[in-house]
Amino acid sequence: MAKTVNPNRKFYPTALALYFAYFILGIASSIMGQYKTEFATAWGAKTLSSGVVDVSMVVSVIAAYGLGRLIAYPFAGPVSDKVGRRVSGLIGIVLYAGFFFGMISVHSMWLAYAVGIVNGIANSFLDTCVSPSVMEIFPKSASIANLFTKFAITIAQFVLPFIIGLVASAHLSYKVIFIGCGVLMIVDAILVLLLPFPKQVKATPTATTASDTAEAKPKHRFSAAAIASILIGFTSSATFMIWLNTNQELGASYGVKNPSSLQSFYAVGAAIAVLLTAQLIHMGLKETTILVLYPSISIVMLLLCYFIQTPVMLYIGSFVIGYAAAGGVLQLATSTTIGFFPDAKGLATSLVMIASSVANYVVLSVAAYITKVTGAGAPRMIILMNVVITLVGVALALIVKRHGKENQVVAETE
């Protein structure tokens, strides 16, 4: 009997190129936080009375990433669906190259802010290309294929501190990393331009009567639970974004000799969470339970990091927060929201990601203000802000969990 050849095998190199783009995205999303002092100095930041450089302007530029996503998401989805995945991906990858080259070329905070917005726009276009593309390349395991986009990011965030260490030991400028990533993105853009993409999956309309159409409309659209599920996009993103972009200063204040190493513990926790959470769900653990459980774990760990001011506690905290905050809660919030909007999956996804983008912009802008006002005491004040936001996330998740059965009914009647 002749062996059946998988017709999608020709798209596997395309999938690798797209996952690689997400790997570089993972570096782009966290590298600014590793070089706050260097960038602040390059942009003319003042030295505070405590003797440290005021890095608040760098935190503001990182926050611009969320603003860029917020601007682009309403346009990126239609470009991907109507013009093509390849076009959306190319826009994202080329803009990322522009981010890497641009950030090391500007010499003022406001020009850097504009480049930060470009970073967010790039993320939006890459999101709307990569997720649907890999799900179309691997249709029998679409959710796993999409989950590995998160895995690619966490691997990048694990490797980054080692790259930083190698560059430092070689007495090279931090700009070398930016130049290298920019060049790699250009190479990846060429691959995405030339490699084949699968045919886009279109929904097949079915004949229905007017009464059937009326019956098919979801009953829970914009119910309290649906809105709570969308808002978890804000709180879940805020928890890990705040930690990811402020743990360096916290580590330095607690006596961590190499604060960038905290990033590796965080990334390992997130990578393990992606794999273990998928297995737990496969074994029957409800997504709504995880939405309550993981943020609760984050709260406990943030409080421990606040009260126990030791390097060991921060290493443990980085791992646990990586697991509980960055290991797929945002993705689960997205899939849960889709359950409330079974006939509008794109809308549901956009709403959650817009909430995530608002979080990136708002909470990091507030963190920048706290840093400017409180100086050396800012890292611990920011922990408390993170605790409050994550507590709100638990409250929202409890609302969603209370309506979990209704959500399942809506999703199953699709």
pLDDT value of residue 408: 45
Share of the chain above pLDDT 70, in %: 87
DSSP 155-203: HHHHHHHHHHHHHHHTT--THHHHHHHHHHHHHHHHHHHHS--PPPP--
pLDDT value of residue 337: 79
Question: Between 385 and 281, whose confidence is greater?
Answer: 385
User: Per-residue confidence at 167, pLDDT binned at 50, 70, 90?
Assistant: very high
Cβ atoms within 10 A of the Cβ of 42, count?
A: 18
Residue 60 pLDDT greater than 80, yes or no: yes
pLDDT value of residue 212: 46
Cβ atoms within 10 A of the Cβ of 310, count?
A: 12
- pLDDT averaged over every residue in the chain: 84
Q: Which two tokens stand for residue 283?
A: 């074994």
pLDDT value of residue 215: 45
Residues 101 and 179: beta-carbon distance below 8 Å: yes
DSSP 47: B
Residue 122's nearest CA partner among 104, 102, 137, 106 is 102
Mean local confidence (pLDDT), 34-41: 88
Q: Report how far residue 231's alpha carbon sits from residue 235's, in angstroms, rounded to the nearest whole number.
A: 7
User: Domains of the chain, with CATH numbers?
Assistant: 12-198 (1.20.1250.20), 209-414 (1.20.1250.20)
Cβ atoms within 10 A of the Cβ of 253, count?
A: 17
Phi and psi, residue 261, nearest 5°: -70, -20
pLDDT value of residue 201: 59
Residues 339 and 407: beta-carbon distance below 8 Å: yes
User: Per-residue confidence at 143, pLDDT binned at 50, 70, 90?
Assistant: low
pLDDT value of residue 332: 81
pLDDT value of residue 85: 85
Residue 401 pLDDT greater than 80, yes or no: yes
CB-facing half-sphere around the CA of 286: CA atoms within 13 A: 14
Share of the chain above pLDDT 90, in %: 38
Mean local confidence (pLDDT), 295-309: 96
Question: Between 280 and 180, whose confidence is greater?
Answer: 180
pLDDT value of residue 89: 93
Q: Report how far residue 376's alpha carbon sits from residue 282's, in angstroms, rounded to the nearest whole number.
A: 45
Phi and psi, residue 215, nearest 5°: -70, -30
Residue 84 pLDDT greater than 90, yes or no: no
Cβ atoms within 10 A of the Cβ of 13, count?
A: 13
Residues 77 and 28: beta-carbon distance below 8 Å: no
Phi and psi, residue 31, nearest 5°: -70, -30
Q: Report how far residue 243's alpha carbon sits from residue 238's, in angstroms, rounded to the nearest whole number.
A: 8
Mean local confidence (pLDDT), 309-321: 95
Cβ atoms within 10 A of the Cβ of 146, count?
A: 19
Mean local confidence (pLDDT), 143-162: 81
pLDDT value of residue 362: 87
Q: Report how far residue 260's alpha carbon sits from residue 270's, in angstroms, rounded to the nearest whole number.
A: 16
Q: Which two tokens stand for residue 405?
A: 């059965």
Rg (alpha carbons) of the chain, rounded to whole number = 21
For residues 72-101, one letter each, b for 16 or more C-beta atoms within 10 angstroms of the residue's C-beta and e for the rest, the string is bbeebbebbeeeebbbbbbbbbbbbbbbbb
Mean local confidence (pLDDT), 248-257: 88
Residue 89's nearest CA partner among 184, 182, 11, 22 is 22
Look at the alpha carbons of 236, 356, 60, 395 in this order and tell me if their dihedral is positive or negative. negative
Q: Report how far residue 340's alpha carbon sits from residue 394's, in angstroms, rounded to the nearest whole number.
A: 19
pLDDT digits (tens, 9 = 90+) for 349-394: 778 888 988 887 888 888 888 887 887 788 899 999 999 999 999 9
pLDDT digits (tens, 9 = 90+) for 199-244: 875 544 444 444 444 444 444 467 889 999 999 999 999 999 899 8
What's the burial of 142, exposed, middle or buried (CB within 10 Å: 0-12/13-18/19+)?
Answer: middle
Q: How far is CA 329 from the centre of its chain?
A: 10
Q: Is 207 helix (H, G, I), strand (E, B) or coil?
A: coil
Mean local confidence (pLDDT), 39-65: 81
Return the biggest CA–CA distance within the chain. 79
Amino acid at 199: K
Q: Which two tokens stand for residue 42?
A: 């390059």
Q: Is 53 helix (H, G, I), strand (E, B) or coil?
A: strand
User: Per-residue confidence at 104, pLDDT binned at 50, 70, 90?
Assistant: very high
Q: Report how far residue 266's alpha carbon sits from residue 288's, in angstroms, rounded to the nearest whole number.
A: 23
User: pTM value?
Assistant: 0.75
